[in-house]
Amino acid sequence: MGGVVRNKLEEKIEAGRLRDGYYGSDPGAMYGAFAVTGPCGRTLRIISSGPDAWEHVSVSLEGKNPPNWQEMSWVKEKFWEDEETVLQFHPKKSEYKNLHPNCLHLWRNEGLDHPLPDQELV
């Protein structure tokens, strides 16, 4: 299945699932929209999309600030296994689209073990 890797979302994430609307989904699905209090006490708006070869989760907040590193790391831990490498991209300027300012994205190409720089550089 595309979407995210984990077989089951933890109760806190599941409790924040939106059941109605465009991204509404049924309990137990690995994709959908969620509104969850993150590690910094702010409400994270999370959309997990799939199925596709690219597993994807977007994260945003109310207002004009993007999520911080701690929040993005927390979301990564909730939607992927600890040993999965997940990426954030900065595409070429000519290919950049900013459809939702202050929304950050996590990506993983299903079945690909992404190469990384030397460990001391990461």
Averaged in consecutive runs of 10 residues, what is the pLDDT profile of the chain (122 residues)?
66 95 90 96 92 88 94 96 90 89 92 85 78
Closest CA to 9 of 25, 24, 23, 30: 30
Q: Which residues have C-beta within 8 Å of that of residue 73, sequence separation ≥ 6?
A: none
Q: How much is the pTM? A: 0.88
Domains of the chain, by residue range, sit at: 11-121
